[in-house]
A and B are shown apart, each in its own frame.
Chain A
Amino acid sequence: MLDVKAGDEQSFALLLHRYRTPLVNFLYRMVRNREQAEDLAQEVFIRVYRARAEYVPSAKFTTWLFRIATNLALNSIRDTRHQRMEVSLDAPVTVDSEEGDERPLDVAEKNPNIEEHLVQEAQREMIRHAIDKLPEKQRAAVLLHKYQELDYGEISKILSCSESALKSLLFRAYETLRVELAPLVALRAKS
C-alpha cells in the first residue's frame, strides 16, 4: 500500500489482484447479491485509491480494507432492506448462466449423481440461510472470523468494538448458528 501511496500504479494492480476475491466473497455473503457485491467491492477499491495519499500504516492494510467494506455493506443492507431480493443468486447455477465461475457447478460436473448434488445444494442453502438470519454485525463478525481468518484485534477494529465485545458477539452468533443448523449437525453425526 505504501508503494501505491507513492504513486506506483503497478502496486495497485497487485492489491486489486490479491484482494478482489476475498473482498467480493465477503461482500457477497453480507448482501447476498452478486451484482451488488461487485459494485460494493469496486467502490471499496475506488475509496482505497482515492485515500492512498492519506494512508498511514498505523493499522494493517486488511483491517483498513475490510473496515471500508463492512461499512459499505452495512449501509447498503440498511438502504435496501425493504427491497432485498429473496432469490438467492448463488443458489443452483443454471447451465445457461453467463457467469459459470461458481463452484457448485464444478461440483456438479465432478459428481454425476444429480440427487446427491441437489441434497448438497439444499444443505448449502440451509447454511446460507442461517448466516443470513444473523444480525448484520454478528454476520460480519462470523464472516471475518471464519472466512478471512482475521484475528480478534483486527475484527474488533473493523467493527469498532472492544475485543471482549467481539468475543461475546461471536459467541452469540455461533450459538444461533448451532441452534439453526442443529438438524444438519445431527444428520452429519449419523452419517
Chain B
Amino acid sequence: METRLLEYIDGRLKEKEQREMEKHLAACSGCNVRVNEFRSVSSLLDELPQIEPSAAFDVRVRARIAAEPVKQDWWAWLGAAPRILVAASMLLLATVWVGHRQPDGTNMANSNGEETQIMQDQDLPVLENYDVLANFEPLTELSQPVSADDSSDQEM
C-alpha cells in the first residue's frame, strides 16, 4: 500500500483503487501523515527555479549539425547522374563481352602452342646433337638402316 501513496497523490489510481486508498488513509494515521509530507515535499520541489538555455545554445547545436558529414546514398547518387550510370553500364557490358570472347582464342592458341612445345621437347636431344651426329665418322661408315618395306622385299 505504501508504494501506491505516490500514485494516489499523483491522481493516477483507478477510481476503485482511489476509494480503497481513501478508506485506508482514514484508518491509518501513519500513511495519512506520510501523504501530507509527500505533498509538502512535492510543493517544495516546485519552488526550484527553471533555467533557460544560454543564447548560444541553439547556435552551437545548429553549427554542430551543419558540421555533421552528409551520408551518401550510392543509388541516389547514380540516379542523379544518369550519364555516369549509362557509361558505367556500357563499360560493364564491354568487360563482360570481352571476357566472354577471350577464353576461346586463348585456349586455341594455348593448345597449339602446347603441341608445338611438346614436339620440340621430344626432338630436342636429337636436334641438339645433329651437327655432331651428321659428321660422326663411324656412323657414316655404317650401312643405311633397313626399313620395314625393304626387309619384306628381301624376304621375298
Contacts and interface: CB of A to CB of B under 8 A. Distances in A.
A188 B42 CA distance: 13
Nearest to A106: B49
Contacts of B52: 21, 24, 101-102
A177 B51 contact: no
B54 interface: yes
B44 A99 contact: no
A20 B5 CA distance: 32
B57 A128 contact: no
A167 B44 contact: no
A90 B49 contact: yes
Contacts, number: 105
A124 B34 CA distance: 22
Interface residues of B, number: 31
Contacts of A177: 41, 45
Interface in A174-191: 174, 177-178, 181-182, 184-185, 188-189
Contacts of B53: 20-21, 24, 38, 41
Nearest to B10: A145
Contacts of B37: 178, 182, 185
B interface secondary structure, majority = helix
Contacts of A152: 7, 12
Contacts of B71: 53
B68 A127 contact: no
B2 interface: yes
B34 A178 contact: yes
A12 B65 contact: yes
Interface string B82-117: 000000000000000000000000000000000000
5 contacts: A17-B58, A20-B58, A41-B57, A90-B51, A181-B44
Interface of A: 12, 16-17, 20-21, 24-25, 28-29, 34, 38, 41-42, 45-46, 49-50, 53, 90, 99, 101-104, 107, 123-124, 127-128, 131, 142, 145-147, 151-152, 164, 167-168, 170-171, 174, 177-178, 181-182, 184-185, 188-189
Given A16-B61, A151-B12, A168-B3, 8 more contacts: A17-B58, A21-B53, A42-B61, A46-B68, A171-B2, A171-B3, A171-B6, A184-B44
Interface of B: 2-7, 12, 34, 37-38, 40-42, 44-45, 47-54, 57-58, 60-61, 64-65, 68, 71
The 10 closest A-B pairs by CB, nearest first: A103-B49, A101-B52, A185-B40, A24-B53, A167-B3, A171-B3, A177-B41, A178-B37, A45-B61, A20-B53
